[in-house]
Structure 1
Amino acid sequence: MALNGGWDSGLTSVLDVLRTAQAGRARLDPDLPELEYTVVTPGAAPVTTAGGLLVTGGCSVTDAAGAGTDLLLIPAMAAQGPATVVDALMRDDVRALHRDLRHWAEAGGSVAAACTSTFLLAEAGLLDGRSATTTWWLRDLFAQRYPKVALDMSRMVVRDGAVITAGAAFAHIDLALNLVSHISPRLAAETARALLIDERPTPSVSAFTDHLRGHDSLVSDFETWARAHLHHEIQVADAALALGVTRRTLERHVRERLGTSPYAFLRALRAERAVHLRATTSLPVEDIARRVGYRDAGSVRRLLTGG
């Protein structure tokens, strides 16, 4: 989403990461889902960022919801201090967005925000009872204003259910990579490497090197092994044995990195492959079931419907 007076790099850096990931997915694994994205604006009128970039309107939050969009990401609002953050929250267009965000969340859509826009999610009540983070220089104001939020300043990106928050302005890169990693940890790592063109240490690439340092090779190896064996009736114990670790170790790494269980990740990979085969081939459901490791069509139908 582009907002009037929004932080320019917050919008453009997220788009750059997603474009790079989309370009890399076909080379890495054509079965990975497409990363489809569009820029949403609060209304039909063009939006002007803090730096003067003009973003043409045309796609609203309602339009995006009607198109089946999974997640709405709100980059930071440009603000130079606590008073200007509060002023921005009182703007008519921002207050109207609160209603749109609540409707979006009630309909089951995920939301993400970084830096000052975490306040926007909190103001809409979407962070109540959840863990979240915000930018370091506004932590006191956030804690005072939103006591129902469990503020976690120990992590750059915090995912709690369908809501994702990230820290300061350049955490938009970490946020975008986090989104990609939930499609494929391996794709996120390759995207970070592709964007890290010059390995000389500079502050401008610290977010990418932080992501690479946090890259868990065991989780990537698990993904690679699982994708190569999806046509078999594999179990988590099989993967652990093949990777030379205990099941408990594999479960711990996957939970710490992806926030889910190895079984749930395997199920997601099977669903992803099944959707791809159904969309790109004329195979009957029975054949698709066998290609994703199930014995019968009923299992794959339940997989695709979330049953």
Structure 2
Amino acid sequence: MHDFTVLALDDAYASSLAVTLDILNAARVIAPRLGLPAPRWRLCSAEGGMVRLQGGMQVEAARLPARVRDDRSTWVLPGLGLNTAAAVTQRLARPDTAALARRIARHVQGGGRVAASCSSVFLLQAAGLLEGRRATTSWWHAPLLQRLAPGCVVDADRMVCADGPIITAGAAFAQTDLMLHLLRGQGVGALSDAVSRVLLIDGRQAQSPYIVAEVLANGDSLVTQLVARIEAALPAPPSVAALAQAFCMSERTLSRRIRRATGKSTLALVQSVRLRRARVLLEGSRMTVDQVAEAVGYQDATALRRLMKKVAGANPSRYRVSTMAAA
């Protein structure tokens, strides 16, 4: 019985598939030294044979069995390189994608689990597995996923979301976070921690520190202008009412426009701009945390710490440590 079934998908990120296999291989080597069971896995594709990955790379995979009785393995889908809404739509319209989505749905209905990162999460949406669940994906795809799956709570701030048999992760390199989470979910947290240390990778809690609001808005000119106005006003960011007045619209209309473009509220957009500026200052200057807090409009460092912990899953000191280490 396999613990994991790794699915090699056409045009998947080669790095995303490679890091999946590297982490599993490392776990297999390390587990006996810790007196722990090693994970078992298989590499499969829908048709078997050579699978073409991004960058012209290829990998050979076994054919995914048409039906396996009592297959309780976790199917792992590495990230796909679908960077635009049009690319996602085109991929979902392919007959082979629809067929794979149906197989994924049957696997979960039969008691299995499925884990996906990046735009592979849209395959779970196509399989009808996100309804009523919380999920994440690449942060710039979050608005599209929310439109396609209105019954899903899309939490783009999180790096990994686990909801029942469905585990999702953020952008392509969140595959590392996904695999560490899966190892820990096997009841062997010590193995996950050991693999993390050996490969020098950290499990991250949030995507939010990496979100660029203008990119998230996918070229929406209003959001671009709003971000510029908020940044220029720091350390005294304008209120939601002031922003609405500046752009000659009601607060409700402004909120609707921002949420349609980014999936975030107006206040969340303001906070993301402040947090981004705070991170830049923490990483690129020798300002104290109190000075950084003041520079982005917080009364003291406690407020900044609380917000960064809530939204980014890390204290300001984490970014300051990386700066000092590089100095």
What is the TM-score with the length of structure 1 in the denominator? 0.61
The answer to whether the 8 Å contact 2:12/2:81 transfers is yes
Q: Which residues of structure 1 form unaligned runs of 5+?
A: 197-207, 214-307
The 1-side partners of 2:128 and 2:145 are apart by: 13
Amino acid of the structure 2 residue aligned with 1:153: A
The answer to whether the 8 Å contact 1:189/1:212 transfers is no
- Residue 33 of structure 1 and its aligned partner are, at CA, apart by 2.6
Q: 1:158 — aligned with what?
A: 161
The answer to whether the 8 Å contact 1:192/1:212 transfers is no
Deviation readout 1:234-263 (Å, 9 max, x if unpaired): xxxxxxxxxxxxxxxxxxxxxxxxxxxxxx
Residue 63 of structure 2 is aligned with which of 59, 63, 69? 59
Deviation readout 1:127-159 (Å, 9 max, x if unpaired): 111111111011111111110111122321111
What is the TM-score with the length of structure 2 in the denominator? 0.58
RMSD: 1.9
Q: 1:264 — aligned with what?
A: none
- Residue 45 of structure 1 and its aligned partner are, at CA, apart by 4.1
The answer to whether the 8 Å contact 2:74/2:112 transfers is yes
Residue 15 of structure 1 is aligned with which of 11, 21, 44? 21
The 1-side partners of 2:158 and 2:82 are apart by: 22
Q: 1:40 — aligned with what?
A: 44
The 1-side partners of 2:167 and 2:62 are apart by: 25
- Residue 69 of structure 1 and its aligned partner are, at CA, apart by 4.9
The percent of aligned pairs where both chains have the same amino acid is 35
Amino acid of the structure 1 residue aligned with 2:124: L
Deviation readout 1:245-292 (Å, 9 max, x if unpaired): xxxxxxxxxxxxxxxxxxxxxxxxxxxxxxxxxxxxxxxxxxxxxxxx
Number of paired residues?
A: 199
Larger radius of gyration: 2
Q: 1:2 — aligned with what?
A: 8
Q: 1:26 — aligned with what?
A: 32
The answer to whether the 8 Å contact 1:134/1:166 transfers is yes
Amino acid of the structure 1 residue aligned with 2:141: L
The 1-side partners of 2:203 and 2:70 are apart by: 34
The 1-side partners of 2:31 and 2:61 are apart by: 29
Deviation readout 1:161-182 (Å, 9 max, x if unpaired): 1110000110000000001112
Q: 1:194 — aligned with what?
A: 198
The answer to whether the 8 Å contact 2:70/2:110 transfers is no
Pick closer, same or farther for the CA change 1:212–1:78 going to 2, 3 Å.
closer
After TM superposition, the structure 1 = structure 2 runs for residues 144-183 of structure 1, keeping only pairs within 5 Å, are 144-183=147-186
Q: 1:122 — aligned with what?
A: 125
1:185 aligns with 2:178: no
The 1-side partners of 2:79 and 2:63 are apart by: 19
The answer to whether the 8 Å contact 1:41/1:61 transfers is no
